[in-house]
Amino acid sequence: MQNELSPKTKKLLVLILIVGCFFSTLNQTLLNVALSELMQIFQVTPVTIQWLATGFMLVNGVLVPITAYLMKRFSTRQIFMSSMVFLFIGSVLAACAQNFGMLLAGRMIQAAGAGIILPLMMTVIVYLYPAEQRGAIMGKMGFAIIFAPAIAPTVGGFILEYLSWRYLFIMMIPISAAIIVLALKYMINIEEGSKLSLDLTSVLYSTIGFGAVLYGFSSAGSRGWGDWLVLTSIIVGIVSIALFSRRMLASAQPLLNLRVFSYKMFTMTSIINITITILMYADLILLPIYLQDGRGFNAFEAGLILLPAAIINAFLSPVTGKLFDRFGAKPLFLIGTALIALSMLLVIDLSTTMSVPYLIIRTIVLRVGLTFITMPLNTAALNALPRELASHGSAVNNTVRQLAGAIGTAVIITIYTMQLSHVDITANDGFATAAGNTYIWMLGLAILSIIIALFVPNKVEKSNSSVE
């Protein structure tokens, strides 16, 4: 199919996917800055309001493992259109919400659309472009994956400061509608759907497993690690994932083909994916907490401090994609992990007197490091696989990201909460000290990622074999 499409058609298809993925990813993190305000508006507790974030991750965590099946069962056009329709309907419902239940329902529907768009996008690239061209294309897609969450605090803060929380959802309505119109006219099928039977037992295992683990770790920050519901959820989730994995390895046509881990490059990139995702999501939460609680900035001001790094991030992403095609994965991974470790080192002694320009430069260092890793990581992982495993590889990749994001965020918040118990929180210095001490733990994780990157293969062994 890839040889039948003209370069212009390919570019148009990729553009539609990037735009759809950008706004889906932006929508996922846009609400974080509004949680405190929404808690007051709907008069709910922190445990309840966090479901706007936890629920989103839960739906994603449940959907992502079955995306490989969905991409085989339905056509590319059907899947993309469905994801955008879910985003549209969820946005309308949330924008009109009169109570918290209605808002949460809209948020969950949005998540149903967002869950499949990223693995779909990566799989399409594997089918459209040969391995030696994927780095540059994936670099452009990094605009959606890295830039969207980076500017979310700024966009969300601006909307809250000058408009209303409803506009966080209202803005998504015309955007998703426009993408649907574009897709109706220009989206073509990379693969036609085929009738496949769905292994319901595997779906049950994956739904319970990934859903329970995500819920348990996401709830730990508010309920505590010793809470019976948290512990039960994590244990049930781990057991279900183990049963799911055993079934996948024994199946001739698995729902999610875990044999992708037999490829060393895929396995190594997955491990780095875990560490980097934890650091990225943890920083997106921890630094704004420090800026607002420790320095007294409002959400919009905190977002503005993070904006320069996001802009540089956007311009660099296509560049690192081209560097990947020229030099390969390992040099980029080593540079990226080193820069990320440096960015963590620069904030282990946070204080209320640390200058804003210093914080901006530090965040730029972090974002440049992430740019050197995020999309090259995905490209290297998928390049290591035969093309018939592309949909499974992208689904596994995104399952790993969802788990790492939820688990890592919960662990970092727990560490930060423990640090707060040892400082005077009546003074702003207390919040700064607690955040700085938490960054020491994150520095350790960043150093671990450097060590792992040293063992990444220099070259990927090409495989033309099929793995059923």
d(CA 219, CA 434): 21
- What pLDDT is stored for residue 305 in this prediction? 87
Tell me, yes or no, whether 37 and 180 share the same domain.
yes
Query: Is residue 294 assigned to a domain?
Result: yes
Query: Is residue 465 assigned to a domain?
Result: no
Of the candidates 50, 22, 47, the residue with the CA atom closest to the CA atom of residue 114: 22
Burial class (CB in 10 A: 0-12, 13-18, 19+), 45: exposed
Q: How many domains does the chain have?
A: 2
Of the candidates 267, 271, 375, the residue with the CA atom closest to the CA atom of residue 313: 375
The encoded tokens of residue 373 equal 């890793």
Tell me which residue range forms the domain holding 221: 199-254
Burial class (CB in 10 A: 0-12, 13-18, 19+), 434: buried
Boundary of a domain, candidates 229, 254, 279: 254
Tell me, yes or no, whether 132 and 241 share the same domain.
no
Cβ atoms 248, 254 nearer than 8 A: yes
The encoded tokens of residue 233 equal 């959820």
DSSP state of 145: I
Of the candidates 117, 458, 141, 128, the residue with the CA atom closest to the CA atom of residue 320: 141
Sign of the torsion formed by the C-alpha atoms of 17, 86, 102 and 216: negative
Query: Is residue 449 assigned to a domain?
Result: yes
- What pLDDT is stored for residue 88 in this prediction? 93
Cβ atoms 171, 22 nearer than 8 A: no
DSSP state of 76: H
pTM, whole model, 2 decimals? 0.78
Of the candidates 366, 380, 276, 393, the residue with the CA atom closest to the CA atom of residue 323: 380
d(CA 148, CA 28): 9
Cβ atoms 127, 393 nearer than 8 A: no
Q: Which amino acid is at 108?
A: M
Q: How far is CA 446 from CA 192, 197, 455, in A?
A: 42, 43, 15
Tell me, yes or no, whether 320 and 448 share the same domain.
yes
Query: Is residue 129 assigned to a domain?
Result: yes
Tell me, yes or no, whether 177 and 250 share the same domain.
no
Boundary of a domain, candidates 217, 237, 254: 254
Burial class (CB in 10 A: 0-12, 13-18, 19+), 23: buried
Tell me, yes or no, whether 25 and 148 share the same domain.
yes
Query: Is residue 47 assigned to a domain?
Result: yes
Tell me, yes or no, whether 125 and 145 share the same domain.
yes
Query: Is residue 442 assigned to a domain?
Result: yes
Tell me, yes or no, whether 138 and 227 share the same domain.
no
Assign residue 162 the CATH number of its domain: 1.20.1250.20
Query: Is residue 326 assigned to a domain?
Result: yes
Query: Is residue 193 assigned to a domain?
Result: no
* Longest CA pairwise span in the chain (Å): 66
Tell me, yes or no, whether 314 and 173 share the same domain.
yes
Mean pLDDT by 10 residues, the chain (468 residues): 65 82 80 77 76 75 73 79 90 92 91 79 77 72 73 84 89 90 78 69 86 79 80 93 90 82 88 89 82 80 84 80 81 93 92 90 92 83 81 79 76 79 70 87 93 81 42
Q: Which amino acid is at 313?
A: N
Tell me, yes or no, whether 300 and 446 share the same domain.
yes
Tell me, yes or no, whether 113 and 208 share the same domain.
no
Tell me, yes or no, whether 244 and 292 share the same domain.
no
Scanning 224-355, the segments in alpha helix (DSSP H) are 228-250, 264-289, 299-327, 329-345
Tell me, yes or no, whether 206 and 313 share the same domain.
no
d(CA 151, CA 311): 8
Sign of the torsion formed by the C-alpha atoms of 169, 173, 174 and 177: positive
Count H helices and E strands in the chain, helices first: 19, 0
